[in-house]
Chain A
Amino acid sequence: MKILVAISKTPDTTSKITFKENNTQPDESSTQWIINPYDEWYSLVRAIEIKEKDPATIVHILTVGNAGSDPILRKALALGGDEAIRINSEAKDAFTIANEIANVAQAGAYDIIFTGKESIDFNGGSVGAILAELLQLPYLPLATKLELEGNNATITREIEGGEEKDAVATPFVIGCTKGMAEQRIPNMRGIMGARSKPLKVVEPTATESFTTIESFELPAAKDGVKLFEAGQEADLIKILHEVEKVL
């Protein structure tokens, strides 16, 4: 089994989000970077679990980014990946990212391509599906469970109001969400071993962006909480009904 895990570099959840250049660029001067949680906790860990069960499995990790993305690739290798690939390009929109990944994926002839449900920075949730379309592969979004038997997979997915179990043969693209695997922390052996694992840098193809971010806004400041005493529940319900009109 040959697996590709596409990961992205996102600001740490607790990072304060600010903008510069007239609100057209994120101000990343003090941003702490992490592997996008959906990519790390669910996709990457599940891929490594498959490798642990079948040591013949090869797990490649890929990201689109400049050299600033190397630390997240090394962490992914420390968690158990075999080789990392960095496509040397600033991540633009979902289509350009998916197109770059598709070029590498096609050449690599992978059986399973893992992505996270979405990235926690731009919350687009579309790279996996675009990648699947470019490769003309099935796409299983919102996957919470993956069982493999040879080249046949049974995948449990969230659907509105419940879940669905699907059968699909490799190759396919899967978008993972909570339930797929449990978060892991790399151990010292993994961290030391990751230093000597290959990290390949691939030059990008020229792909046109279909979308561009013109500007950012911060949400309007809240007026502050209006507190009620215990015992005033009926007053609160009345306000929600008559003033806020949400009941």
Chain B
Amino acid sequence: MSVLAIIDHGQGQIKKSTGELLAYSAALANALGTEVSALILGTVEDNLSDLGKYGVSSIFQDINAGFNTADNQALTAAIAQFVTEKNIDTIVFPDGTLSNSVAPRLSAKLKAGFVSNAIGLPKLENGFSVKKAVYSGKAFAWYKINTAVKVISISSNSFEVKTSDATANVEAVSLNLEASKVTIQSVDIVKGEIPLSEASIVVSGGRGLKGPENWKIVEDLAHSLHAGLACSRPVSDSGWRPHHEHVGQTGKQIAPNLYIAAGISGAIQHLGGVNRSKVIVVINNDPEAPFFKAADYGIVGDVFEILPRLTAAVNNLN
């Protein structure tokens, strides 16, 4: 019986969410009174032993394994083999593309219950119950996992990370990875951009920006805040911004610590994608914009004047 965290990575770097993943897994193992370890398939530039500071003392690495979500069938089989050999019964994935493909596949292979995007540690008094957002953030549900083996993924920015001076022991393992039925033809990463799934701050623009030529003031604020860039659906539908920046019910669902919405009225479909943000700041010249009802802070006024002043205030803070 033990807990295993699956480390996600790309372009030679572990995902920013790894600290939260490991801290959560260590706290879960502690609550269950069991051991915790982590598994990484493939290689990264990061020093893995440093990850011990998040509370996981044992990291297994297969340096020969390929690693891509397109290979999810092969990755699933390899992880299942490891889990069975090590007698692991709780597997934790970080939020991201791995949790959309490998985590559910693994649950099917192991005949294990799966809950995605868990918020906080499970309740253990009466089994194993996990809280997650449902109805696009309009409610939460407590899911009880009824199987002996459990697979969960955790929602980003939902668990407080504490660190220590500890280091982890990294042990090499060799897993059998089947040949993939999917061939990766090209990977196109947008340079210098913080992926929305990894951003703890997101700055977003809507139709109030009036056109793509005005996006520099949104980008400037995002740059000063080291934030991810996002937009509303009409903006991406009009081709002002790429689809991958669209946040909302039919775009990306995000849960950053801070979401700043400029020139977005706050249609219910937009709120469905951002309402799990910890703090929401809305800037709009219409005091009746529905988004103000969902916001924590707001400024009624012209985005073209306010955004540059916010950027200046952030730069002064730094």
Q: A123-B117, A236-B310 are in contact. Are A165 and B258 (CB under 8 A)?
A: no
Given contacts A214-B143, A217-B131, 19 further A-B contacts (CB under 8 A): A14-B268, A121-B135, A125-B104, A132-B73, A138-B70, A139-B101, A144-B243, A157-B70, A158-B97, A159-B69, A161-B11, A164-B70, A168-B183, A169-B181, A211-B143, A217-B142, A233-B312, A233-B313, A240-B281
Which residue in chain B gives the minimum CB-CB distance to A208? B146
Find out whether the CB atom of A237 lies under 8 angstroms from the CB atom of B314. Answer: yes
Size of interface on A: residues with Cβ below 8 Å to B:
84
Find out whether the CB atom of A246 lies under 8 angstroms from the CB atom of B107. Answer: no
Contact of B249 with A by CB under 8 A: yes
Find out whether the CB atom of B279 lies under 8 angstroms from the CB atom of A214. Answer: no
B: residues with CB less than 8 A from A are: 10-11, 15, 68-70, 72-73, 76, 96-97, 99-109, 111-117, 129, 131-147, 180-190, 193, 195, 197-198, 200-201, 225, 236, 243-244, 246, 249-251, 253, 257-258, 268-269, 272, 275, 278-279, 281-282, 292-302, 305-306, 309-310, 312-314, 316-317
Find out whether the CB atom of A123 lies under 8 angstroms from the CB atom of B133. Answer: yes
Find out whether the CB atom of B114 lies under 8 angstroms from the CB atom of A125. Answer: no
Which residue in chain B gives the minimum CB-CB distance to A241? B317
Among residues 225 to 247 in chain A, which have CB atoms less than 8 Å away from a CB atom of chain B?
Answer: 225-234, 236-241, 244, 246-247
Bound: A161/B188 CA distance, A: 8
Which B residues are CB-close (under 8 A) to A244? 258, 278-279, 296
Which A residues are CB-close (under 8 A) to B317? 237-238, 241, 247
Find out whether the CB atom of A17 lies under 8 angstroms from the CB atom of B10. Answer: no
Contact of A130 with B by CB under 8 A: yes
Interface string of A113-146 (1 = CB under 8 A from B): 0000100111111110110111011111110100
Find out whether the CB atom of A211 lies under 8 angstroms from the CB atom of B297. Answer: no
Query: Nearest Cβ distance between residue B190 and chain A, in whole angstroms?
Result: 5
Chain B interface, >50% SS class: mixed
Find out whether the CB atom of B297 lies under 8 angstroms from the CB atom of A168. Answer: no
Which A residues are CB-close (under 8 A) to B70? 138, 140, 157, 164, 166
Find out whether the CB atom of B185 lies under 8 angstroms from the CB atom of A165. Answer: yes
Which residue in chain B gives the minimum CB-CB distance to A116? B250
Which A residues are CB-close (under 8 A) to B105? 129-130, 132-133, 139
Contact of A107 with B by CB under 8 A: no
Find out whether the CB atom of A141 lies under 8 angstroms from the CB atom of B135. Answer: no
Bound: A216/B132 CA distance, A: 10
Contact of A56 with B by CB under 8 A: no
Tally of A-B residue pairs with Cβ under 8 A?
283
Query: Nearest Cβ distance between residue A239 and chain B, in whole angstroms?
Result: 7
Out of B10, B68, B147, B244, name the residue touching A163 (CB < 8 Å): B244
Find out whether the CB atom of A236 lies under 8 angstroms from the CB atom of B184. Answer: no
Query: Nearest Cβ distance between residue A27 and chain B, in whole angstroms?
Result: 11
Find out whether the CB atom of B10 lies under 8 angstroms from the CB atom of A159. Answer: yes
Which B residues are CB-close (under 8 A) to A240? 258, 279, 281, 297
Find out whether the CB atom of A234 lies under 8 angstroms from the CB atom of B316. Answer: yes
Find out whether the CB atom of B190 lies under 8 angstroms from the CB atom of A230. Answer: no
Bound: A215/B257 CA distance, A: 26
Which residue in chain B gives the minimum CB-CB distance to A163? B188
Which residue in chain B gives the minimum CB-CB distance to A231? B309
Which residue in chain A gives the minimum CB-CB distance to B282? A225
Which A residues are CB-close (under 8 A) to B225? 247
Contact of A188 with B by CB under 8 A: no
Interface string of A1-37 (1 = CB under 8 A from B): 0000000000101100101000000000000000001
Contact of A110 with B by CB under 8 A: no
Find out whether the CB atom of B136 lies under 8 angstroms from the CB atom of A120. Answer: yes
Query: Nearest Cβ distance between residue B140 and chain A, in whole angstroms?
Result: 4
